[in-house]
Each structure stands twice: as structure tokens, then as C-alpha cells.
Amino acid sequence: MLAYLRRRILQAIPTFFGVTFVAFMLILSAPGDPVALITFNPQASDTGSAERLRRQLGLDQPALVQYVYWLAGNDWAQVDSNGDGTLDSPGTRLGLLRGDLGNSLKHRRPVSELFMERVPATLLLTMSALVLGYGLGIVLGMLAAINQGNIIDQIIRVISVIGNAVPQFWLGLLLIIIFSIQLDLLPMSGMRSISSRGDFDILETLRHMILPVFVLSLNTIAYVSRFTRAELLEVLGQDYIRTARAKGLPRNRVWWRHAIRNALLPVATFLGPAIGTLLSGAVIVEQVFSWPGLGQLTINAVFQRDYPLVMGSIVVASIMFITGVLLSDVLYAVLDPRIRLR
Amino acid sequence: MRSAEVQVAKLDHAEEEALLHSRSLLSDAVSHILHDRLTLLALGILITFTLIGIIAPPIIEGPLGIDVNRTNVVARFKQPGVDGFVLGADHLGRDQLVRLIYGGRISLAIAYASSLGIILIGVSLGLISGFYGGIVDDIIMWIINTLSAIPALFILLVASAIWEPSPEVLVFILAMLGWFGTCRLVRGEVLSIRERDFVLAAKALGATNRRLVMAHIAPNVFSIVIVTGSIIAGNLILLESGLSYLGVGVQPPTPTWGNMLTDSRNYFATGVHLVLWPGVLIVITVLCFYLIGDGLRDALDPHRRH
């Protein structure tokens, strides 16, 4: 098991560096002059002070050098911190690898600080959606398999097909119209009410979570229920199930001990991809429900051309995804010894 | 005794018939689809939408003389059916039905074009990766693993915000960031087909690599590719509408089903019809693509059917 864990972590490392490289190159390829963005002055590019600022920020350096500084910091290298054209003093950045993602251009605060505030909200949203998606999906899948071919099976199939075809933002808008505006039952946005004055109130947060979590989990519910149904039917047709029944085991025991356990094993492989889908979906759902998470932060950063923040978002979202996939692989290896021995 | 003989003769006759009328995979699939009413319905709806997208705009601009982007303050939030606005008017008084037609044209064109791009990239790289293996395979798989470790919407959001896409650029972005799954799928298929006996036989007969790939392996991934192509097109409609909704897709005033919903949040009270219709059309279109994908899968896979 430890060997498997070590191997999986080692595999994740080059992926992580690849992601940082992609994020960096994506932003580097953006049209427009960063100096003009920082000074909020489109004409600033050619002036002498712009040249100095560019040297101070290290933007005159080759792309690869900039990448290394962003990744590993520049406190160990000589940089031109006063912009006079000579590389004479060590830099101040610690670099991504030591948790320093630079400063946000808009918020004028360390990017990592902003993430500390926003990531928990996104985690809360996606993890709840994951639990709901898997829970409801498995239950629906089991119901469909038991009722194979009859009306309940048909209804669940229709739900799961439509669940995949409905755009999340649209469903969110409809639910807001129905439950927040027409019926006035649930709050339409945010994580807490204005009247709660910032105190953390678990009931209040739960009430705010109902709609976004449901909307976000719909994809997962749809996929997991279909997957569970298919796997269960497959398992129920196996010889060992007939054997178990033939040797006189009660139906319930065969169902729970023999069928469900084996059928759910493959469903667990979908955990990794599901986390990716949920993180992607969170961007849209957070926007619809004004949920103060990473997705919303990223969208705003993208529109404000806040490039350090944008690069950081890509990296942080990917770290969450890579970690999620890693954990689900490990979980799967725990559940199924055949995987880790391969 | 005698009746048994007759039966045998009949059987032989039937077998002969079957041999005489044996069909190719393609004609077999076509005849299967012709009997699959749900798939036919989906196909019909999709063709109708596509044709409307092609035919309607010249008529709307010509004889009807309506400009899709011209605003009309008097007609703001006209309810459906009032004053000739069949599906009502939006917050700037533009006819919603007309905008839906134009939006559908763009959404569908983007979906068709980018799924074509995804198929082309995914299939070629998948064939190369699966057939040649070695370092090429390693490099391609590393690229895929890296890029698919970034949650899709984050990288799409950033890429399309940076380049402020026209529809053409958006197609390019969607294709460049969407081929990973197809490539993996094709590669997996090729890896298994490559080991089959008929490939070995072809090799023994002296077939070149090029011929092995093009004449023996590629046709065998054809059906799986066509099925995924249809499902990918459905996903792309969703993705494009999501990006447009976030404001980084095709920019207003050019309508797409997604960006028609962007502002609708502010008009809940006055214009529920503005929230309803673009979404309904998205759902129908995506469903059609999915159903066609399912139908094609059944039609193209003789094993699955029986």
C-alpha cells in the first residue's frame, strides 16, 4: 500500500509542474502590456518610467527566467529592484513552491491570502455536492436496477438523461425564480444573510447551500445513478449470485453482501473525474448564486486582468483536482487490492 | 418425416436469402436507425434547427426587414404573443424569437465545427499514440495528463477571456482544449486492435505502417468516434452556453443561447419568458445530440443490439 501511495504521489509531481507551466505560458501569451495594466494607463508602455517599472518587476527578463522566479522565488538571485539597469540586489519573492503566489493587482494583497478566504467556500460547495451526488445517485441507481424495465426505472432514466442535458446556470436561474422569488422559501444568493452580521450560523449556511449544492450535484447524480444501475445489473447476472441464491441465502443477504459491494466498486473509479466536473461546475454555480468561492474570484480576476490572481487560480484549482484524484485512487486501492498489486 | 424435410429445405432457403441480402455495416446501421423512432425524432429536430439557422436569417433580413440587434425601447419586455412578438421581446425590445434563431445558428455552428476539430485532433493523435507507442506516446500522454489536470472550465474561462473570442477563435479554443478524451479513447481502442490477428495477417502480407493504420485500424475506430462525436457536440453546446453566460464566450450584441441568459437574472420579475426559452432550446438540442449518440451506438454495434 505504501509503495502504491509513493508511486502515485511521484506521478502527480510532473503533472503539477506541467500545470504551473501551462498557467504561466497562458498568461504570458495574453495580448497587451502588463505595465499598462498595472498602472491602469494604456499609454504608459513607452515612457521611461514604464521601462523602469518593467525592470523592477523583472518583465524584461526572458520568459523562462520569469517562470523560474514565479515558481521558486527570486530571493536567491540578483535582480534589478530599483530599476536602474543593473542586477544588484536579491529579490523579495518567495515563489509558488514556498506558498507565495505574488500580489493581486486589484486587491493589492497577497494572492495566497485571497485563496485562504475563498477556497473553503468552494470546498464546502463541491464536497457537499459530491456527497449528495454519490448518495442520491447510488440510491437512484439501486432503485432503477431493482425495478428494471418498469415505470420507476423509466422515470429514473429520464431524470438522469435530462439531468445531464440541462445547463447548470439555467437550472439555477429557474430554481431561483421558483423557490426564492415566487415561493420565497430559500435565499437566492450568497452564503449568509445580510442580517446575520457575519456570525457563522450553521442553519443559515445550510439554507443557502440547498439550491447551489443541488444544482451542482445534478450531473453527478445523473452519471452515478446510470453507472450504478448498469454495474448492478451486470453483477446480478453473474454466476456467483446464482450460486449464493442456490445455496439458500436469503435474497436480502445476497443483495447487500454479494451484489451491492461488488457493483459499487467500479462506481468509485468515477470519483476522480467527478471532482473535476464539480470544480468546473462550481465556477458557474458560484456565479449564479453569488457564492463567494474560488470560481467567482477567478471570474472577477479574469475580467479585471488580474494576472497573478488568474495564474494562482488555475494552479490552486488544479492542486485541488490533482489531490482529489490522488485521494480517490488511494481509496480505490484500499477497496480493491487488485489495483495496488498491479 | 416429410414435414421435417420441408423444414430443412425452408431453413436452407432462409439462409440463402440472408446471404443474398447480407448488408454492409453501414447499410445495416442505416436500416436500424430507420426503425429507431426516438433517434429519428432527435435527428429530425436537429436537422430542423440547423435548417432554420441556415434559411431563416436571409428571410428575416430580406422580406421581413428585421435587424436582429436593433433595439426598440417601446417594445421592452413585451410578453409572448403581444404585438407580433411570438416569444416576446427582451430588455432592449428585441424580438426574442429572432434572437433565438440567430443564437441557435451560432451555437450549433460552434458545436459542429469544434466537435469536428476535436475529432480530427483526437483521432489523429490517438492513432499515432496508440500505433507507434514509445516516446511519441509518452509525450502525447503527458500533455493530456497535464492539461486534463486543470479543471476544464478554469482553463477555458481564462483562455477565452484572454483572447476575447470571435466565434472562430472560440471554436479553435474549444477544439484545442477538448480533444483529450477522444484521443485517450482512440488510443485505447488502437492498443487493443493492434494486437488482433487480422492486423498481424496484414503485416505478414507486407502492409506498410501507413496502410495498417489507414486501411485496417482506422476503420475499426470509426463507429466509436462517430458516437463520441455526437455526444461531444452536445457537451459543447452546454460548454459554449456556459462560457457565454459567464460573459467570456461570443460577445453581445451577437446573440447566442448562452449570452441571452446572462442578463436575464436582472429581469426575473418582468420577463420570465426571457429566462425560459433559451434554456429550453439548449436542453432540447443537447438531448437530441445525446439521443443520436445513443442511437448510433446501438446501430453501429451489432453485438450490443442482439
CB contact under 8 Å between A174 and B154, yes or no, is no
Residue B83 confidence (pLDDT): 62
Computed over every residue of chain A, the mean pLDDT equals: 82
- Separation in Å, CA of A92 to nearest CA in chain B: 28
DSSP-assigned letter for residue A46: G
B232: nearest CA partner in chain A: A165
Backbone Cα Rg of chain A: 25
Domains of chain A: 32-100 (no CATH), 111-335 (1.10.3720.10)
Residue B63 confidence (pLDDT): 66
Mean pLDDT across A103-116:
82
- Residue B176 contacts A, CB cutoff 8 Å: no
Residue reference for cell 499514440: B129
- Residue B41 contacts A, CB cutoff 8 Å: no
Instruction: Identify the residue with better confidence: A260 or A215.
Output: A215
Residue reference for cell 466536473: A277
pLDDT at A30 over 90: no
- Residue B149 contacts A, CB cutoff 8 Å: yes
Which chain A residues are within 8 Å of B276, Cβ to Cβ? 174
CA dist list (Å): B144 to A71, B65, B303: 22, 49, 31
* Distance between CA atoms of residues A27 and A19, nearest Å: 12
Please tell me the least confidently modeled range out of A71-85, A215-229, A236-250. Answer: A71-85
Q: Where does the pLDDT of residue B1 fall: very low under 50, low under 70, confident under 90, or very high at 90 and above?
A: very low
Winning range, highest mean pLDDT, from A38-47, A109-118, A296-305, B173-182: B173-182
Please tell me the least confidently modeled range out of A86-90, B182-186, B229-233. Answer: A86-90
Computed over every residue of chain B, the mean pLDDT equals: 81
CB contact under 8 Å between A19 and B146, yes or no, is yes
* Distance between CA atoms of residues A35 and B242, nearest Å: 31
Q: Where does the pLDDT of residue B116 fall: very low under 50, low under 70, confident under 90, or very high at 90 and above?
A: very high
- Count Cα neighbours of A320 within 13 Å in the Cβ-side half-sphere: 27
CB contact under 8 Å between A173 and B159, yes or no, is no
Query: How many beta-carbon pairs under 8 angstroms link A with B?
Result: 136
Mean pLDDT across B175-180:
90
Winning range, highest mean pLDDT, from B76-80, B222-226, B252-256: B222-226
Is residue A137 a contact partner of residue A223, using CB atoms and an 8 Å limit?
Answer: yes
Mean pLDDT across A99-116:
81
Winning range, highest mean pLDDT, from A44-58, B57-71, B235-249: B235-249
CB contact under 8 Å between A167 and B247, yes or no, is no
pLDDT at B306 over 50: no
* Distance between CA atoms of residues B111 and B232, nearest Å: 8
Residue reference for cell 419568458: B273
pTM: predicted TM-score of the whole model, two decimal places: 0.84
- Topology, domain B45-54+100-304: MetI-like fold (1.10.3720)
Helix (H) or strand (E) holding A77: none
CB contact under 8 Å between A302 and B248, yes or no, is yes
Of B165, B111, B120, B121, which is closest to residue B147 (Cα–Cα)? Answer: B121
Mean pLDDT across A28-57:
70
Mean pLDDT across B258-263:
80
Which chain A residues are within 8 Å of B163, Cβ to Cβ? 31
- Separation in Å, CA of B146 to nearest CA in chain A: 5
- Residue B152 contacts A, CB cutoff 8 Å: yes
Residue reference for cell 479574469: A302
Residue B76 confidence (pLDDT): 65
Please tell me the least confidently modeled range out of A94-103, A137-146, A261-270, B166-175. Answer: A94-103
* Distance between CA atoms of residues A104 and B137, nearest Å: 39
Mean pLDDT across A127-134:
93
Q: Where does the pLDDT of residue A188 fall: very low under 50, low under 70, confident under 90, or very high at 90 and above?
A: confident
Nearest to A169 among B145, B242, B286 (CB): B242
CB contact under 8 Å between A173 and B242, yes or no, is no
Q: What percent of chain A has pLDDT over 70?
A: 88
Which chain A residues are within 8 Å of B159, Cβ to Cβ? 26
B222 grid coordinates: 470509426
Which chain A residues are within 8 Å of B251, Cβ to Cβ? none
pLDDT at B174 over 80: yes
Residue A173 confidence (pLDDT): 87
- Residue B181 contacts A, CB cutoff 8 Å: no
Q: Where does the pLDDT of residue A199 fall: very low under 50, low under 70, confident under 90, or very high at 90 and above?
A: low
Nearest to A167 among B146, B264, B282 (CB): B282
- Separation in Å, CA of B242 to nearest CA in chain A: 7
